Amino acid sequence: MPPSVVSELIDLLQLERLEDDLYRGQSRDIGTKYVFGGQVLGQALSAAQRTVAGRTVHSLHAYFLRAGDIAAPIIYHVERSRDGKSFSTRRVTAIQHGQQIFGLAASFQIDETGVEHQIAMPVVPRPDELEPAPEIDPATLSHMPAKLQRWMASKGPFEFRHVYPRDELKPPKRPPYQHVWMRLTERIGDSPELHRAMLAYASDFHLIGTATLPHGISYLQPNVMMASLDHALWFHRPFRADEWLLYSCDSPSAQGARGLARGMFYTESGKLVASTAQEGLIRISTGELV
């Protein structure tokens, strides 16, 4: 029996240790032109977590510098910047073909108690009240490029249920916010490090797309170019990536061929477990949208 897509993702995030603080990751072709940004995020975080014991990552900040080659492995070098009494800092550099394609800084903290508050979860339908995304009509799919067909038709490791579904082939204009329930399609082990790496992977889905909503454009249109420029992620509370999480996203601004999007992850019980932000490139070539 072939491995499931969830098992494949777990293997993708495990990484091969080459030497102290040096790891190698493979890529999974999911139909995107270049390496999916969430994959590099998840792998870089996995590499950083391998070098820290007794402390939990609470934030990461990353820049996407070059497009990743799906056909080549990625080398991750971890720099142990600091190990203090309460915090540890790691820097991770991702390298392909001798060039840096991605850089990440992550901060880890010992467990501490203190004041607590959170913003309430938006009032939205529960995931069991929403229908799974419909499959794309085969006739429509057949007119797409081969890679895009694979992306649109593949069953990924995460299930998504949109509170406000949108037809990406004929996108309407609407306000710059969206809510998406997501979870892994299978149960996985209890390792908190694995669940955090999984969330880092999934946080790159849907986020910058929120900045396109007011403009009625889609990444599926051939004259629309989109790419992640940077990414920040803060972990607040424990969670499981194989249980439903609400990804609540908004986009406060788009300008200069860039869009900014923010997101918050909530459990079904309304607990805020992580927050994220990303700026992405959004270019529209001259000519009529198709």
204 labelled catalytic: yes
- Find the angle CA(274)-CA(280)-CA(284) to the nearest 5 degrees: 145
278 labelled catalytic: yes
For 106, 139, 142, 196, 250, the CA distances from 193, given in Å and listed in that order, are 13, 42, 40, 5, 27
How many other CB atoms are there within 10 angstroms of residue 172's CB atom?
8
State the catalytic residue, choosing from 107, 204, 242, 248: 204
How many other CB atoms are there within 10 angstroms of residue 25's CB atom?
22
Tokens describing residue 242: 């194989």
Altogether, the residues listed in the chain come to a count of 290
Q: Give the sheet arrangement for strand 99-109, strand by strand.
A: 16-19, 22-25, 74-83, 87-96, 99-109, 56-64, 224-235, 272-284, 258-267, 245-255, 177-184, 158-162
The answer to whether 75 touches 23, Cβ cutoff 8 Å, is yes
120, burial (CB in 10 Å: exposed 0-12, middle 13-18, buried 19+): exposed
109 labelled catalytic: no
State the catalytic residue, choosing from 39, 46, 107, 228: 228
Active site residues per annotation:
204, 228, 278
